Amino acid sequence: MLVSHAFTPQPVCAPARAMLQTGQYQNRTGVYRNGIPLPPDVPTLAHHFTAAGYQTGYIGKWHLAGTDSAPVPPHLRGGYDYWLAADVVEFISDAYDARLYDGDGAEVRLPGYRADAYVDAAIRWLAQPRQAPFFLFLSLIEPHHQNTRDDYPAPAGYADRYADRWTPPDLAALGGSTSEHLAGYWAWSSGWTRRSAGCWTR
Is pTM beyond 0.85 here?
A: no
Buried b (16+ CB within 10 A) or exposed e, 48-60: ebbeeebbbbbbb
**Domain segments of the chain as ranges:** 149-202
Fill in the amino acid letter for 38: L
Are 105 and 71 spatial neighbours (Cβ–Cβ below 8 Å)? yes
Are 140 and 118 spatial neighbours (Cβ–Cβ below 8 Å)? yes
- Give the E-state strand segments of 27-113 in sequence order: 55-61, 82-86, 98-102, 107-110
First-to-last alpha carbon distance for the chain, in angstroms, is 17
Q: In the prediction, which pLDDT does 187 show?
A: 65
Show pLDDT as tens, one digit a residue, over the chain (202 residues): 677 777 787 889 999 999 999 999 999 999 999 999 999 999 999 999 999 999 999 999 999 999 999 999 999 999 999 999 999 998 899 888 899 999 999 999 999 888 889 999 999 999 999 999 999 999 988 767 666 666 667 777 777 776 777 777 887 787 777 767 776 666 666 655 555 555 544 4
Q: State how far the Cα of 138 lies from the Cα of 74, in Å rounded to an integer.
A: 18
